[in-house]
Amino acid sequence: MKTDDLLQRARVTAAELFAPVAVFFRRKDVRAVVEWLKEPVYAVVVMFALTTIIAQPFYVPSGSMEPTLAIGDAVFALKFPYGYSRYSIPFMNGPTPAKRLWGRLPEVGDVVVFRLPRDISVTYVKRVIGLPGDRIQMRDGRLWINGKELPVRPDGVGDDEDELGNDIMTPRYVETLPDGREHPIFKKSWGGGLMDNTDVYVVPPNHVFMMGDNRDNSLDSRVPPDAGGVGYVPLGNLVGRAFVVIGSVDFKKADGLWEWPFQFRFSRVLNRVR
């Protein structure tokens, strides 16, 4: 049989095969459903693209970043400052990527959303304290970076909310980073805490060192993963930089979901994360 005949028979077979499909989609009721679905499908596609490329909301479930972030805060994290990896895609899991597309180092002091190295299905938010090669140490509760003690000054007291919703008045301080950036911290005592005196941590290549602003209530890079901490965080685990609070519900003080609207913190909406 000639090649032309075979092609002709293939075209006829294909036309016969897809004819019912074509007839189905020409029906007015089906076309109406397709038209009705277009807008929500387009909206989902656009939202997925925006949360992958531009920014994604994340929820803060603990008080480890108080007073900067409160329990129940929802923050937007910008995706582009550090480049992109598979973790830039919402709900994407898999091994930690070795490289990032358009990857850039964070700055010391950035508040960063990242995947927990020991369980990449879990998302954390902490402050970057050390970059590759930096030497980090705690001495009597004070933070040292590359052999220099960071200045702190008293800043009154603040409400440190615990896991039961109780507010504990805790001393608040302002810490100054080596580049002059300042941020608040909570510190109950100096020198007596479990993480107030440590060995020197030397941040490995392609990793960062993270700490919570609630210094006595944060399992961060000071604590190794096998002890329930964060350890050093690979650059590939970074998701984005937290930059603004978009909503906040003090759910710890609510007896149920029906009380959440009454525990909404309007004063925290659109607060910049610094």
Catalytic-role residue among 64, 85, 88, 248 = 64
For the chain, the 3-state helix, strand and coil shares in percent, each to the nearest 5, are: 25, 35, 40
Distance of alpha carbon 161 from alpha carbon 164, whole angstroms? 8
| CA–centroid distance for 150 within its chain | 26
> Is the omega angle on the peptide bond into residue 81 within 30 degrees of 0, that is, cis?
no
Distance of alpha carbon 121 from alpha carbon 115, whole angstroms? 7
Nearest to 131 by CA among 111, 143, 145, 147: 145
DSSP letter string over 12-56? HHHHHHHHHHHHHHHSHHHHHHHHHHHHHHHHHHHHHHHHHHTEE
Query: What six digits make up the tokens of 22?
Result: 């074509």
Nearest-Å Rg of the Cα atoms of the chain is: 26
Distance of alpha carbon 240 from alpha carbon 104, whole angstroms? 11
**218 classed as catalytic:** no
Measured from the Cβ of residue 235, the count of other Cβ atoms closer than 10 Å reads 24
Distance of alpha carbon 189 from alpha carbon 195, whole angstroms? 11
Distance of alpha carbon 77 from alpha carbon 58, whole angstroms? 7
**187 classed as catalytic:** no
Distance of alpha carbon 111 from alpha carbon 95, whole angstroms? 23
Catalytic-role residue among 79, 126, 187, 252 = 126
| Catalytic residue positions, numbered | 64, 126
